Structure 1
Amino acid sequence: MNRLCASICLFTTLAGLQIAAPLALSADERASTDAPLRIDSVLVTVIEQVEVPAREVGQLTNLRVREGMTIERGALLAQIEDSEARLLLKQAQLEYETAQLKAENDVDLRFARKSHEVANAELQRAKDSIQKYPKSISKTELDRLQLTAEKAELEIEQATEEAKTAQLEAKLKRNAEEIAALAVEKRKVVSPIDGMVVQIMTRTGEWVRPGETVMRLLKLDRLRAEGLINLSLLQERDLKDRPVVLLVNPGTKQEQKFQGKISFVSPEINAVNNQTRVWADIENPDLKLKPGMRASLIIQ
């Protein structure tokens, strides 16, 4: 009987251990979700590259950059011949200045108002004289003075309308000046990004047309590391914005580390290998990291 009880107790203990073991493993698995993930053989690519086009037709007269130069956004890269455009701009500026002076000139309006005052004063004196001396001024003369006063009032309205027209003409000339200035600016080839000139397609003296690529720029101060990760390793993790370390030549004397963060986890899963794409934006202030490099990515 004692041996039977001992056997039952031993079986119960072993069964308890067998049940407890999976629970301990599940806890380890939960803890492992906070461990760093490593993705080997990620590819470094550019995030932003631009093919800078010409915006006007003409001859390229001045090339300001060469391959390998680092430039800032808005920097002048090349110049298209703009002599005619500058002359048209100068003409538009002079026409605007003339129209502006005309719009600001109020001599006609002030003269019309003064004439109206004088005409009203003469009319009033005539009326006062008739009240004192009824036959001192004829009916014809009184009508003439009345007409002169009304004409002066209409001249004020005419001068006011002409002043409004002159202001509108000045605005039209201002608009024409801005169009001419834009034509000059469009003959400048400027950089839309901070980056490096990696390829020049058009040289000084060659003819360009709108839309033709003059040169190609790469933005290198921030690059992208692209890799694949197995879905089973994600384990309900949210990788978006997680900090990462990119290792170039890991385990060697030439090892380099770059900081960044996860910017994209693809929602698409490859049905064959059960993998998904992961992108990380990597800071590259010293431009030591190059597009095309292969590296390892450690997700914190």
Structure 2
Amino acid sequence: MLPKRAIQSVVRSTVCLVLGCVLSHSAVADDTIAMDDLIVTVIESIDVPAGRTGSIASMTVREGDSVATGKLIATTDDREARIRQAIAATQLDVARRKIKDGLSTEQAEAAVGSTRQAAKEQEMLKRVANKKATNLVRIAATEKASEVAKNELDRALASRRAYAQSISTSEIEGLRLAYEKSILETQQAKSEHEIEELSAQAETEAAAGHLWLVQQSKLELRQAEVDEKINELNLELARQQTELANLEVLRHQVVSPIDGVVVEIHRRPGDWVTEGEPMVRVIRLNRLRAEGFANLDDVSALKRSPQVNLRIQTAESVVQRSGKIVFVSPEIDPVNKQVRFWVEFDNSDLVVLPGMRLSLELTP
């Protein structure tokens, strides 16, 4: 059996230990700020509108269905839009074919080079023809030969008149024939010279025509460049019109803008909707918000410690969540001196639902 003094010492030690624990727990409690009755709300609730006016052709979801971003929800009648899409695609094919089969600038440049070469060749032919046309040597030679033949014939005739036996008749006829031949040769030379002059004129006209062809080919080159640019612009225009037609078809498709759950369907297949009219309401559940009111004395702590712990009482158990304070109102309620704030938290498991109440704890 312990002595009385030892028992008293143990009792005093036990009391001190208990009091120390209580005091320590009170200190922790004093350091923690707790708030109750925060309401869980959705961050995103979207009334998905109709993209185009018309009748609803199909509805692919029902209330309660989960939808991902971009999932098709409904379609409106898009028959006219699809016809316009086909027309735009055909126009795009035509524009591409014009680019492929049109006169290219390379072909036009080749034509310019060819006509320039032909013009140079024709210029040389013109010079040759002009040279021939200005050559009078042959005419002068035939005229000189004709004069010589005439002089010989005149001398022979004069000699025969003086002395009949001095030259025979056959010699006279030969000289006369030579003279007449020289006259014909002179006429032939003059005729050929006239032909050469006409040929020179023809070659000159042909050279001028080739120069005109060069100018024409240059103009065709410019036109080809302009046509090529226009075809390129038409091709770009056709592309844009095709994109516009494709977009028009897509605007008849109503898709979900967020990951969420369909909670309300405003219109059904066959109903008439106007552009911008709500068709389906989708809410995001994988990330939620808790809204509440804090005493003015706790506002500074909320701002200093954005990370908080959340406790949500569900039907099955208490759910713990880590949240972040994203908004503290700058307005103070003049009656109760409270400030509105909200916390966002992850809800990937979809356990917490909007409308639930939760409590918050933070350590400043």
Please point out which of 179, 188, 196 is paired with 2:244: 179
Query: Any gaps of 5 or more consecutive residues in structure 1?
Result: 1-27
User: Hey, what's the Cα distance between the residues in 2 that align with 1:40 and 1:180?
Assistant: 55
**Which segment is superposed worse, 197-206 or 138-147?**
138-147
Is 1:170 aligned with 2:166?
A: no
1:62-141 mapped onto 2 (5 Å cutoff): 62-107=58-103, 109-132=105-128, 134=131, 135=133, 137-138=200-201, 139-141=204-206
User: Hey, what's the Cα distance between the residues in 2 that align with 1:249 and 1:108?
Assistant: 77
The corresponding residue for 1:262 is: 325
Please point out which of 220, 230, 233 is paired with 2:285: 220
Could you say what secondary structure the match of 1:140 adopts? helix
Mapped contact 2:329–2:341 kept (Cα < 8 A): yes
Please point out which of 343, 351, 362 is paired with 1:280: 343
Is 1:147 aligned with 2:212?
A: yes
**Which segment is superposed worse, 164-173 or 237-246?**
237-246
User: Hey, what's the Cα distance between the residues in 1 that align with 2:325 and 2:304?
Assistant: 5
User: Hey, what's the Cα distance between the residues in 2 that align with 1:213 and 1:131?
Assistant: 87
Could you say what secondary structure the match of 2:303 adopts? coil
In proportion to residue count, which structure has more helix?
2
The corresponding residue for 2:183 is: none
- CA gap of 1:33–1:255, structure 2 versus 1, over 3 A, is closer
- CA gap of 1:253–1:144, structure 2 versus 1, over 3 A, is closer
Following superposition, the deviation at residue 233 of structure 1 comes to: 3.4
Could you say what secondary structure the match of 1:107 adopts? coil
Aligned residues: 269
User: Hey, what's the Cα distance between the residues in 2 that align with 1:107 and 1:273?
Assistant: 84
Following superposition, the deviation at residue 91 of structure 1 comes to: 1.1
The corresponding residue for 2:309 is: 245
Mapped contact 2:260–2:284 kept (Cα < 8 A): yes
The corresponding residue for 1:292 is: 355
The TM-score normalised by the length of structure 1 is: 0.82
Following superposition, the deviation at residue 117 of structure 1 comes to: 2.3
**Which segment is superposed worse, 43-52 or 143-152?**
143-152
State the Cα RMSD in Å.
2.4
Query: Any gaps of 5 or more consecutive residues in structure 2?
Result: 1-23, 134-198
Following superposition, the deviation at residue 32 of structure 1 comes to: 7.7
User: Hey, what's the Cα distance between the residues in 1 that align with 2:70 and 2:91?
Assistant: 30
Paired AA for residue 258 in structure 2: I
Could you say what secondary structure the match of 1:189 adopts? strand
Following superposition, the deviation at residue 187 of structure 1 comes to: 0.2
Mapped contact 2:49–2:275 kept (Cα < 8 A): yes
The corresponding residue for 2:294 is: 229
Following superposition, the deviation at residue 33 of structure 1 comes to: 11
User: Hey, what's the Cα distance between the residues in 1 that align with 2:261 and 2:355?
Assistant: 16
Give per-residue Cα distances to partners, 1:121-145, cap 9 Å, x unaligned.
Answer: 1211122334455246423222122
Is 1:52 aligned with 2:48?
A: yes
User: Hey, what's the Cα distance between the residues in 2 that align with 1:33 and 1:247?
Assistant: 17
The TM-score normalised by the length of structure 2 is: 0.68
- CA gap of 1:253–1:182, structure 2 versus 1, over 3 A, is closer
The corresponding residue for 2:170 is: none
- CA gap of 1:108–1:298, structure 2 versus 1, over 3 A, is closer
